[in-house]
Chain A
Amino acid sequence: MISLAGRDILHGWGKFVLTGVGLGLLIGVTLSMAGVYRGMVDDAQALLDNSRADLWVVQKDTLGPYAEPSSLTEDSERPIQAMRGVAQAAGVTYLTMQIAHGDKDVRVMVVGAEMGEPGLPGQPTHLISGRQIVRGHYEAVADVKTGFAIGDRVKVRRNFYTIVGLTSRMVSSGGDPMLFLSLKDAQAAQFQKDSDAIVRQRARTDANPQLNPPGNPAVAQAVAAIQSGNSNVNAILVTITPDADPDEVAAAIRRWQRLTVYTRAQMEEILVQKLIANSARQIAMFLVILSIVSAAIVAFIIYTMTIGKIREIAVLKLIGTRNRTISWMILQQALGLGLIGFIVGKIAASLWAPFFPKYVLLLPSDSILGFVAVMLICTVASFLAIQAAIKVDPAEAIGG
């Protein structure tokens, strides 16, 4: 038996392929939405991987440093360092800001990391060119996505920094590329006040007799020094010794340092379950709506194609074609449309993914799932047309 669906498709292949391409672009958008979600999760994982930390020590009762603001003194690092099971501890600061680059702004996450000892948690990894920061001030390492090049000078707050190294896949959970500075520079960028604010604060201090007792200017000078100090960090990243249990070390830090500590699994949960949860729900809604729209479009196309062939279907039924054969023809056409749509959608999503401002991760498993979903949607969508075809009375082929 010949393939009636195949012949019908070949007969009007231009229309069929164009319809498939239209559907494919919609499927491409759907796959891209899934890719955006996967990209967000992957960015979150990359952020945790690249920090090379086993534990995140943050301000008590906060979800810092990524999901909530967190501030603690960098002095907290030393007692943690001395605890059993702790291999390394290093303070870090995170600050998202706009940086001018040429005639446009680049949104970056400025990371302040301790650069003294190589391999400390928080330092930039995946260096693809250039070198690490070796000077105490005014050097920076940037992710390639910033668009900066080695030798570029970029302005962060009041100071200029020279790009000395480039990394890849060093991004925040929001997908912003990272710009690494030494911890001192980053603290200055994050906590240093502008000149006017300093002047006003000094005036307030000078006007306060308790902070500026008459005849003892050293007190006011000491207060001013404390006020302009930048010794806070957003978190302390901790690595543990191979034989240590992260939960036990975390429990010990919580108990003795009275700080909040998160293990890798807990931090992953904060990032994925809390930080990007709303975005994930938003994307899931889009996926559901796009699936419904795709199903409606396929159903409409297949139904219209079937209704356009009512006379032929009546003739086919009159001359003895089974309902099963006609239903199979319609289903094959719906599946064919889905197949073309999926292929076009997959190609389109792969082609336009690099142009998205944020990372779009197209996983093979999502593609397989998408293909199964498209075929299911097409099968369901063809029911309406099959129903219409089954209802066609062979008598319609006979006049009168």
Chain B
Amino acid sequence: MAEGIILENVVKTYGSGDTAVHALRGVDMAVAKGEVIGLIGPSGSGKSTLLKCLGAVIEPTSGKMTIGNQCIYDNGWKVRDLRALRRDMIGFIFQAPYLIPFLDVTDNVALLPMLAGKPNAEARKMARDLLDALDVGHRAAAMPSQLSGGEQQRVAIARALINRPPVILADEPTAPLDGQRALAVVGLLNDMARQFDTAIIIVTHDEKIIPTFKRLYNIRDGKTVEETPGHHAPEPSVAS
């Protein structure tokens, strides 16, 4: 199976000297295309830092990152245009859908190929096809405010998939959803990963969906440990 994303000994340190904060202490991770993995860890463990490094939003301190067989970081960025890298090779799904409120559903999805230089008509056709595949094609002309929460999340997934990126980063995508809907979204992401041959990393705290992952990375104190979902010990509840 082709690799979607590989991280080798990725380190991220904020500051220096006595005040240095070691957010990532040598993270290793490999996710194949078509695979969906979970990334869990308590607050302050380095999940968000890892996600930002994976998303090419912040620069790691050292290590190596490869996306879709292209080395993007090897103790320094290997691509000049990180904006184009994010646009073409990484899809993002957020905790809230964060759709652009002044664009209709089709243009929310078509915006990425348009930014990549595709003609508007072609980009809109791609968007409509994808929306059909995600069962929200009938809401293609609606504005985001007219959609239900589930429909908005599907549109956000379509937006992440539209440029067929080798990797999609999903940041707590089921947080606002109840159990049934959360499982449905994970199921949909699994289907999409297979259908579009993309690696999906889901950062989550959601105990309901953790058992659905075939592989799970647990990040603690800046290091990842691969776990099997059945053997995952639930995080201690704040109330307890």
Q: CB distance B172 to A318 under 8 Å?
A: no
- A-B contacts at CB below 8 angstroms, number: 83
Segment from A94-102, A105-113, A205-213, A391-399 that makes contact with B: A391-399
The residues of A that contact B52 with a CB separation of less than 8 Å are: 395, 398, 400
Nearest A-chain residue to B88, judged by Cβ: A320
Nearest B-chain residue to A6, judged by Cβ: B102
Indicate the size class of the contact surface on chain A. Answer: 20 to 34
Give A1-31 as 1s and 0s: 1 = Cβ < 8 Å from B's Cβ atoms.
1101001101110000000000000000000
The residues of B that contact A317 with a CB separation of less than 8 Å are: 83
Q: CB distance B112 to A2 under 8 Å?
A: no
Give A301-334 as 1s and 0s: 1 = Cβ < 8 Å from B's Cβ atoms.
0000000000110011111111001000000000
The residues of A that contact B92 with a CB separation of less than 8 Å are: 315, 318-319, 397-398
Q: CB distance B100 to A318 under 8 Å?
A: no
Q: CB distance B57 to A315 under 8 Å?
A: no
Q: Which residues of B does A touch, CB under 8 Å?
A: 47-49, 51-52, 55, 57-58, 83-84, 86-88, 92, 94-95, 98, 100-103, 107, 111-112, 114-116, 120, 143, 159, 171-172
Please give the distance in Å from A319's CB to the nearest CB on chain B: 6
Determine the distance from Cα of A11 to Cα of B172 in the docked complex, in whole angstroms: 29
Nearest A-chain residue to B81, judged by Cβ: A320
The residues of B that contact A398 with a CB separation of less than 8 Å are: 48, 51-52, 55, 57, 92, 94, 171
The residues of B that contact A7 with a CB separation of less than 8 Å are: 102-103, 107
Q: CB distance B86 to A1 under 8 Å?
A: no
- Known interface pairs A8-B102, A394-B57, A399-B172; A320-B84 also in contact (CB < 8 Å): yes
Most chain B beta-carbon neighbours within 10 Å: one of A319, A321, A322: A319
Give the contacts of A265-319 with B (CB-CB under 8 A). Answer: 311-312, 315-319
Nearest A-chain residue to B89, judged by Cβ: A320
- Known interface pairs A2-B114, A395-B52, A400-B48; A322-B83 also in contact (CB < 8 Å): yes
Determine the distance from Cα of A35 to Cα of B140 in the docked complex, in whole angstroms: 51
Nearest B-chain residue to A9, judged by Cβ: B102
Please give the distance in Å from A290's CB to the nearest CB on chain B: 32
Q: CB distance A319 to B87 under 8 Å?
A: yes
Q: CB distance A2 to B107 under 8 Å?
A: yes
Determine the distance from Cα of A319 to Cα of B168 in the docked complex, in whole angstroms: 12
Please give the distance in Å from A19's CB to the nearest CB on chain B: 16
Q: CB distance A318 to B107 under 8 Å?
A: no
Nearest B-chain residue to A325, judged by Cβ: B115
Please give the distance in Å from B124's CB to the nearest CB on chain A: 9
Given A319-B111, A400-B49, 13 additional A-B pairs, CB 8 A? A10-B102, A11-B101, A318-B55, A319-B87, A320-B84, A320-B87, A395-B55, A395-B58, A398-B57, A399-B48, A399-B94, A399-B171, A400-B171
Please give the distance in Å from B180's CB to the nearest CB on chain A: 23
